[in-house]
Structure 1
């Protein structure tokens, strides 16, 4: 066990010194900004910093000051020290990757009140002085020897950053005519209008006109120049949306205040719906803190107990979406409870069969592996511990779950326990369907719309689902 020990006033001698060395990382700057609230763009905006006086991102000046405080409080004098005064002169900027050595040296002792004066010096890797100053402290008189406290791990996550990137990717694209099915609450109506304001969609609101206008008025939402198709109820709204899609007047559907089953019923009608040869499936797109990239999960909303052929379509739909999001060859992990083919676990047999289907060209555009347990799919350390040799393990872009129950649990656990942001879309019909839940906020609705818009434009280039 590591210990922390001070030097009492009587033990301290003029000329005593202590130091620590730290290399500046982007996480240090971000954490200091979060803690202090100092978001000066010279520290947190690379584009601005490049045009600023130092032409690079630099540390907050008091980051170095905090390191001086760390040496005084933990090394010399150490625990029990009371800070009385500190002056600092900032001589040279500290940039990302610079290594700073902080050294404090005792220059004077005063018996009255056990005061100690220390010279404080911060040098970079080139020996240049970056900070220079003097500290006055009251040194401890009682010896302290204690186990060193282990600090908690800190994980920085910019909420919504990956979804904002998806939304930004739609800026050069033309808005997509979209049927918004029964937007009869303020949340779904606001989401559709916000997507229109972002230039992602041209909304056609389908539902009871008087009710939609009343909701807009109560929520202070502007319906000027927005087309409304008046129908009496939610059943009729879903049917009308399918009719517009079959006529080629809309290229996306967006769920409003309507139950998913009610929305899908006219879509899956064999005679008048939007079915294709491909089975429809839902894909969650999650931005999970501590996972280095977006994570797609399917199917967690439509197919309850998919057989092998349905799973094949689920996999292909997910791969097609990944392509639309700019992932050239997505890594697809077929999940089960174990990583070995086990006859008593049918999901492992399906996983092995899906991988062989990919080998034979029945699934294209992705790199498959399975069966893989969840930990092996997302953690390279877990995969290595099991001796799994795989390009997919530990780095999956897509997780294919055994059934809806498992998928729903995985997705909801990541959302509610791991703080993931979620978006979702249904693929496999003639056009994509933005399928959000009542609990989804505006960001989730915008991200779901962006994903569907990207898919529409990707498909229009001749890459058909």
Structure 2
């Protein structure tokens, strides 16, 4: 165990020194801004990142005050020190990636007030002086020795960052002509128009023209140049959109203001729908704070109690989506309540069978392991604690849930309790279907459209869908 111990006033000698070395990281700047509330553009905006103003501000705000204070409060004099005054001069810029050594040296002692004056010198990795000055403190008169506190690792999550990466990945792709089904509310219509503006889709609005125009008027949406296929109601909109897809006039569907069942009913029609040999399934794509990669969860919206054959298609659909998103070898965790095959828990038997199917080439494109409990699917520490040797455990890209109830609860817990952002898409039909909740915002709709666009182009290159 490491300990922290102070130097009392009587122990301190003139000329005594202490030092601390730190490297400035981008996340240090972000954390400082969060803690202080200082969002001055010269501190946090990228356009200032290479400017002297930026460097000097960071040196003053983070290194000049906080790190020198850290040396005085933990090393010399240490715990019990009272900081009185400081006076610093900034001699050179400090930037991201610079390593700064802070050294304090005792130059004066005042016996009457227990005042100690220390010279403070900060140098960078090239030995250049970046900060110099003096600090006046009251040194402690009581000896303190305590275990050193190990600070927690802090992760800052930028909302929408991974979804923005998805959208950027489509920059070189042509937009996909898309039937937007019954976009008769502001949110779904705005999402469709914004997806069109970002060249993710070419929207074809299918629904009652008057209601679509009224929704556009509510938020000032511009419908000029946008094709509208007028239908009397939502049922007709869904049937018309499916007919457009069957005729090859659109390459994907996007859900507007109508129930999922209403949209999917004509899709699954055996004679006039968009069925294939593959069972259709839904995939949630989640951007979860503190998880280092996008997380796909399936199936949480379509298949209620899937049998083994359906689960095979659910797994393959999710792998194909992950491949389209650029994940070279998707890692698939087949979830259950436990990580051992247990005859009384059917989902563990299905998990074992799916792994064997993957070994025999009945599922391709990913690395599959299961059964895995949720904790050891997403946490290396949990997997190691249970002695699980697996290339998937702790690093899953895809979570395959036992049934719809488990998947829906898991996804919504991550969204509402863990602050995850969610996008959604239906796979296994002739065309991908953007399927978002009525509560989802524009960003979720854009991310879902980006996934569908990537999937369409992935298939167009002759790769499996």
Normalising to structure 2: TM-score of the pair?
Answer: 0.91
Between the aligned partners of 1:273 and 1:390, the Cα distance in structure 2 is 41
Task: For residues 74-120 of structure 1, give each alpha carbon's deviation from its aligned partner in whole angstroms, at most 9, with x where no partner exists.
Answer: 44344554444322233444455554332212212345655432100
Tell whether the 8 Å contact from 1:280 to 1:426 is kept in structure 2 after alignment.
Answer: yes
- More off after superposition, 361-370 vs 108-117: 108-117
Instruction: Report the CA distance shift for 1:95/1:367 in structure 2 as closer, same or farther (over 3 A).
Output: same
**Unpaired stretches in structure 2, ≥5 consecutive residues:** none
Secondary structure of the residue that 1:202 maps to in structure 2?
strand
Between the aligned partners of 1:41 and 1:335, the Cα distance in structure 2 is 47
Aligned residue in 1 for 2:326: 326
Secondary structure of the residue that 1:60 maps to in structure 2?
helix
**Unpaired stretches in structure 1, ≥5 consecutive residues:** none
Secondary structure of the residue that 2:371 maps to in structure 1?
strand
Aligned residue in 1 for 2:427: 427
- More off after superposition, 98-107 vs 440-449: 98-107
Task: For residues 344-389 of structure 1, give each alpha carbon's deviation from its aligned partner in whole angstroms, at most 9, with x where no partner exists.
Answer: 1111111111111111211111111111111121112222222222
Between the aligned partners of 1:321 and 1:79, the Cα distance in structure 2 is 55
Aligned residue in 2 for 1:202: 202
Tell whether the 8 Å contact from 1:121 to 1:132 is kept in structure 2 after alignment.
Answer: yes
**Cα root mean square deviation, aligned:** 2.7
Aligned residue in 2 for 1:368: 368
Q: Matches of residues 37-436 of structure 1 in structure 2 within 5 Å? A: 37=38, 45=46, 60-62=58-60, 63-65=62-64, 66-79=66-79, 81-94=81-94, 96=96, 98-110=98-110, 114-125=114-125, 127-139=127-139, 151-436=151-436
Between the aligned partners of 1:415 and 1:262, the Cα distance in structure 2 is 25
Secondary structure of the residue that 1:136 maps to in structure 2?
strand
- More off after superposition, 126-135 vs 326-335: 126-135
Tell whether the 8 Å contact from 1:119 to 1:133 is kept in structure 2 after alignment.
Answer: yes
Q: CA deviation at 1:48?
A: 7.3
Between the aligned partners of 1:105 and 1:121, the Cα distance in structure 2 is 9
Aligned residue in 2 for 1:442: 442
Between the aligned partners of 2:70 and 2:4, the Cα distance in structure 1 is 12
Between the aligned partners of 2:280 and 2:451, the Cα distance in structure 1 is 16
- More off after superposition, 218-227 vs 191-200: 218-227
Between the aligned partners of 2:379 and 2:410, the Cα distance in structure 1 is 15
Tell whether the 8 Å contact from 2:55 to 2:93 is kept in structure 1 after alignment.
Answer: no
Normalising to structure 1: TM-score of the pair?
Answer: 0.91
Tell whether the 8 Å contact from 1:120 to 1:133 is kept in structure 2 after alignment.
Answer: yes
Equivalent pairs counted in the alignment come to 462
Between the aligned partners of 1:57 and 1:123, the Cα distance in structure 2 is 14
Between the aligned partners of 2:430 and 2:111, the Cα distance in structure 1 is 85
- More off after superposition, 257-266 vs 206-215: 206-215
